[in-house]
Amino acid sequence: MQTIRAARIRRSCPAIAGRHLVALLIGMLLIGCGPTPPTETTTPTGGTLYFGLEAPFHGFDVLGTSGYLNPPMAPLNNLILEPLFRMDRAGNLIPVLGLTATASAGGDEWEIALRQGVRFHDQTPFNADAVVHHWHRILDPANRYRGRPIFDPIQRVEKITDHQVRFTLAHPWPAFLRTISDELLLGNFIPSPTAVEAGTHDRKPVGTGPFKYHRWNNSDHFVVLKNPHYWQPGKPLLNKVVFRALPDHQTRYASLLAGQLDLITLDRGNLIEQAAGKPALTIHPNPGNGAEIILINTAEPPLDDVRVRKALALANHQQRHIRMVYGGAIPFVHHPFGEGFDCQPDGYLAYDPERARALIAAYGKPVEIECLHSNTSRGRRIGALLQQLYQEIGVTLTPVALSTAPQVMRVMQRQYQLATWRIPPALDHGPMLYRSYHSQSPTNFTGYHNPELDRLLAQQRVETDPAARDRLLCDIVRFLNREVPFLYRGGRRSHIVARRKIRNMMESPGFTVDLASAWLDEVTKFNQSAYEIETAAAVPEFNCPDTGDREATRARLVGAWKGEDSWGGKLEVRFNLDDTMAGSRSGGYDLTATYTICGATIRFQTKLGTLVTLTMSGQTMAGTFERNGYGGTLTLRQVSNTTEAAAADS
């Protein structure tokens, strides 16, 4: 048996293409780039980071997804949940919840040693039972997990000891370690079995990560707080991260310039160029593989005819997409494998409108189709460009703008003709290609099926020779380029544009945006405008049952309480019978932003960022406070008509 030891990695490693990582199966010892230096004691801690993302948030339960995370959602997911391993660009395995991976002599079994002493955010122990519970849900056919074809070679996962598990494969699988280390596969992240069984994990995820779920508001705000019991000493340094979903790039960039966001994802060339001229901003390129594509439903006429699909490919001007939609910020591609992977000749159908017109004429019938796209400015540009390109060859295209959820649903139900889509970046594209284009895959949304393509897709799964497997992947690309189940709009390359006050967020290998290591050099500055937007979107998560005795409930809240929190703020609040609230803070700051009474619970939120929740039980009132990510408990005692409060760190 051969053990792959997850390497300790220093903060900066060379970015080397990991194309031949199949060598993991033949005994290559993965060596890291050196030990992680200790965090300097002078590094500031605390503060809130506001992160603007392109995509709206979705659920976190693996059974509710198709398997892949939308890349903009990955930074959020990776803060709450953790995989067994990560992998850097040089192919080094990085230990997370797993420590080592040992392959059997035949390569069809892997034993993984697990980290000890780790707990989920709900204090459930992380152990072999948690890993097995998670993988049983993925592998159980009754659950109909849409991402199951990605992990199809995994037959079962078993507990060996409390901190050791065994993965049994149907055959030696060269993509195994890269697949279970891919940070865009939600199935790789281990959730709390307690939260999963309670049915709450999808909306209130519970993991082992450096931050824990706090609040999810109206699909456009997601708030996480520091996990004070994180297993990596000294991390995280931030108290709080607020994610905002802003699909429009111009709006997201304007919010960054206005100080309402601290960093954003961006792939618009003109905006990236503008940001490069701003002294207060810094740009972090994030090269990757994958592709921006137009998915084609090949099962319905006229798109079931390969002549029509080829005509659409020949009339599709990828360079115009890159220039007009992305401002030149993404690469031109012939395949999804990224730069450095050479498949020439790959059979890519370059722009040739005359040949396209000839194919439409040979088809002999009018071609009228529609294309689903996002209802953003970018989506509308794509629709208008395709409409223009296809008009030139006599094809009538109708753009249809939809929000994300309806568009995804129509594609999954195969109720579409063309639709904007993406091939996500991956450490190994073999599993993704099998999942997307094998005739037996439930996530083959194109409806394309061909025995020869099925054979190639199955063969690349078991081929352990790296060079031979590369040739198979190139054969698959040539087949897809010839049969055209999708069209290319460009490659994948995103950028992080951030304020210079954010330090150390891009230097860890494996995960591109490492907010667990990030810190702010302006931690004492309170972002008033960002906080006001956050609180305006907040929806109190309270069940407020009717007690049947409103006057009694209101009467129990008569009086006042006062105290001092651990930040030194003097708090004094009065609750009145007419359901109004007044308050003050030493120094004259207003404390009257919002409040909610639910039975005998009162919650108020201040303009300075303090959130207080108090619950009355008999003569005792107790609660919690949070200020900009810093949390603690309130200890109170009743004194006549006054409740005195003292705050302590949690």
Residue tagged 């220093």 (tokens): 10
Q: Over range 364-393, report the average pLDDT.
A: 95
**pLDDT surpasses 70 at 574:** no
In Å, how far from its chain's centre is CA 439?
28
Residue tagged 């930074």 (tokens): 75
pLDDT band for 539, please (50, 70, 90 cuts): low
Beta bridge partners of 399: 371
Condensed to tens digits (0 to 9), the pLDDT of residues 6-48 reads: 543 332 233 333 333 333 332 322 323 333 444 444 678 888 9
Q: Over range 82-106, report the average pLDDT.
A: 94
What pLDDT is attached to residue 36?
A: 43
Give the containing element (helix H, strand E) for 158.
strand 154-161
What pLDDT is attached to residue 526?
A: 78
What pLDDT is attached to residue 239?
A: 92
pLDDT band for 613, please (50, 70, 90 cuts): low
- What is the three-state SS of 377-415? HHHHHHHHHHHHHHHCCCCEEEEEEECHHHHHHHHHCCC
Residue 185: closest CA among 153, 115, 138: 138
Q: CA-to-CA distance for 316 and 324, rounded, in angstroms? A: 13
Q: CA-to-CA distance for 332 and 348, rounded, in angstroms? A: 12
| pTM listed for this prediction | 0.75
Between 24-28, 173-177, 547-551, the lowest mean confidence (pLDDT) is in 24-28
Q: CA-to-CA distance for 160 and 117, rounded, in angstroms? A: 17
Query: Using omega within 30 degrees of 0 as the cis cutoff, is the peptide bond preceding 37 cis?
Result: no
**pLDDT surpasses 90 at 630:** no
Condensed to tens digits (0 to 9), the pLDDT of residues 232-246 reads: 999 999 999 999 999
Q: Does residue 105 or residue 588 have the better pLDDT? A: 105
In the three-class reduction of DSSP (H, G, I as helix; E, B as strand; rest coil), residue 103 is classed as strand
Compute the C-alpha angle 89/92/95, nearest 5°: 115
Q: CA-to-CA distance for 192 and 199, rounded, in angstroms? A: 11
Residue 139: partners with Cβ closer than 8 Å, 6 or more residues away: 148, 151, 154, 155, 156, 157
Pull the structure tokens for residue 239: 């108290």
In Å, how far from its chain's centre is CA 128?
25
What pLDDT is attached to residue 605?
A: 55
Q: What is the mean pLDDT of the chain?
A: 81
Contact 85, 9 (CB under 8 A): no
Half-sphere exposure of 460 (CA within 13 A, CB side): 25
pLDDT band for 522, please (50, 70, 90 cuts): confident
Q: Over range 156-171, report the average pLDDT.
A: 98
Q: CA-to-CA distance for 272 and 329, rounded, in angstroms? A: 8
Q: What share of the chain in percent tops pLDDT 70?
A: 75
Between 191-195, 286-290, 427-431, the lowest mean confidence (pLDDT) is in 286-290
**pLDDT surpasses 60 at 230:** yes
What pLDDT is attached to residue 16?
A: 32
Neighbouring C-beta atoms of residue 385, cutoff 10 Å = 18
Do the strands 368-374 and 418-423 form a parallel or antiparallel pair, or are they unpaired?
parallel
Q: What type of residue sits at position 283? A: I
Pull the structure tokens for residue 312: 């659409």
pLDDT band for 282, please (50, 70, 90 cuts): very high
- What is the three-state SS of 471-519? HHHHHHHHHHHHHCCEEEEEEEEEEEEEECCEECCCCCCCCCCCCCCCE
What pLDDT is attached to residue 72?
A: 76
Neighbouring C-beta atoms of residue 440, cutoff 10 Å = 12
**pLDDT surpasses 50 at 592:** no
Q: CA-to-CA distance for 276 and 266, rounded, in angstroms? A: 12
Beta bridge partners of 564: 570, 646
Between 45-49, 123-127, 494-498, 612-616, the lowest mean confidence (pLDDT) is in 612-616
Residue 317: partners with Cβ closer than 8 Å, 6 or more residues away: 351, 389
Q: CA-to-CA distance for 224 and 222, rounded, in angstroms? A: 7
Condensed to tens digits (0 to 9), the pLDDT of residues 193-203 reads: 999 999 999 98
Residue 463: partners with Cβ closer than 8 Å, 6 or more residues away: 174, 469, 472
Neighbouring C-beta atoms of residue 12, cutoff 10 Å = 12
In the three-class reduction of DSSP (H, G, I as helix; E, B as strand; rest coil), residue 638 is classed as strand
**pLDDT surpasses 90 at 415:** yes
Between 81-85, 431-435, 538-542, the lowest mean confidence (pLDDT) is in 538-542
Name the percent of the chain in helix, strand, coil, to the closest 5. 25, 30, 45
Contact 217, 538 (CB under 8 A): yes
Pull the structure tokens for residue 151: 């992990």
Pull the structure tokens for residue 226: 């520091």
Compute the C-alpha angle 268/254/184, nearest 5°: 50
Residue 132: partners with Cβ closer than 8 Å, 6 or more residues away: 157, 158, 159, 165
Backbone angles phi, psi at 121, to 5 degrees: -60, -25
Q: Does residue 3 or residue 156 have the better pLDDT? A: 156
Condensed to tens digits (0 to 9), the pLDDT of residues 448-480 reads: 999 999 999 999 999 999 999 999 999 999 999
pLDDT band for 521, please (50, 70, 90 cuts): confident
In Å, how far from its chain's centre is CA 79?
9
Pull the structure tokens for residue 66: 């198709």
What pLDDT is attached to residue 509?
A: 67
Q: Is 34 left (phi over 0), alpha (psi -120 to 50) or beta?
A: left
User: If you ran DSSP here, which 8-state letter would residue 66 be given?
Assistant: -
What pLDDT is attached to residue 308?
A: 98
**pLDDT surpasses 60 at 641:** no
**How long, in residues, is the chain?**
650
Q: Over range 509-536, report the average pLDDT.
A: 81
Residue 613: partners with Cβ closer than 8 Å, 6 or more residues away: 601, 602, 603, 623, 624, 625
Beta bridge partners of 166: 111, 158
What pLDDT is attached to residue 616?
A: 52
Residue 415: partners with Cβ closer than 8 Å, 6 or more residues away: none
**pLDDT surpasses 60 at 320:** yes
**pLDDT surpasses 70 at 111:** yes
Q: Over range 402-427, report the average pLDDT.
A: 91
Q: CA-to-CA distance for 310 and 316, rounded, in angstroms? A: 10
What pLDDT is attached to residue 45?
A: 87
pLDDT band for 590, please (50, 70, 90 cuts): very low
Q: CA-to-CA distance for 84 and 69, rounded, in angstroms? A: 17
Half-sphere exposure of 284 (CA within 13 A, CB side): 17
Half-sphere exposure of 42 (CA within 13 A, CB side): 0
Between 333-337, 422-426, 494-498, 532-536, the lowest mean confidence (pLDDT) is in 532-536
pLDDT band for 58, please (50, 70, 90 cuts): confident
